[in-house]
Amino acid sequence: MIKKNRLSIVPFSVLMLMAFVLFLTANVSAQFETATVLGSVRDANGAVIEGATVTLKNVATEITNTANTDANGDYQFVNVKIGVYQIVIEAAGFNRTVAENINVTVNARQRVDLDLQVATASETVVVTDAANPLQTDVGHLSGDRCGINLRLAYRNSKCK
């Protein structure tokens, strides 16, 4: 009798283990299907604009997220789903600025820096293809030896 009970527990345990492994792999893969959208907001003279409202809108789903720029004029949205986005920036005394067609890809750090124009009337400035698909926030160096030391590249006619 004891052997029969043990044998009936084994298939159940194997089934539970398989379900647990499947659950873990589903969560791990979902973590990598996002990106970060970040940037700086400045005026026409290059001065930072603190407290500007930045709205990130997914064009396909129309889901929006809102953030405010910090003391350095910077904003950041983390865990952004891949897709095409629109950024709307509003600040007191400045024209509303819209950046459209921002293509966010998997694991990207998509930088969208925008300059706001001083408001003269109620206007909206639309920037098309603001940051398509250039990534300037990459934390690694290229293996190209020519770009490592410009002085040596200048002295030598060829990279070795």
Same domain, 1 and 74: no
Same domain, 68 and 82: yes
Position 146 scores a pLDDT of: 47
pLDDT digits (tens, 9 = 90+) for 5-21: 555 666 666 667 777 76
Same domain, 3 and 25: yes
Same domain, 23 and 89: no
Position 86 scores a pLDDT of: 98
Domain that holds residue 97: 33-128
Please check whether residue 110 lies inside any domain of the structure.
yes
pLDDT band at residue 24 under the 50/70/90 scheme: low
pLDDT digits (tens, 9 = 90+) for 69-95: 999 999 999 999 999 999 999 999 999
Same domain, 46 and 87: yes
**Most trustworthy range by pLDDT among 12-21, 22-31, 99-108, 133-142:** 99-108
pLDDT band at residue 127 under the 50/70/90 scheme: confident
Same domain, 4 and 76: no
Number of domains in the chain: 2
Same domain, 120 and 42: yes
Same domain, 22 and 37: no
Instruction: Spell out the SS3 assignment of the chain.
Output: CHHHHHHHHHHHHHHHHHHHHHHHHHHHHHHCCEEEEEEEEEECCCCECCCCEEEEEECCCCCEEEEECCCCCEEEEEEEECEEEEEEEECCCECEEEEEEEEECCCCEEECCEEECECCCCCEEEEECCCCCCCCCCCCCCCCHHHCCHHHHHHCCCCC
Please check whether residue 156 lies inside any domain of the structure.
no
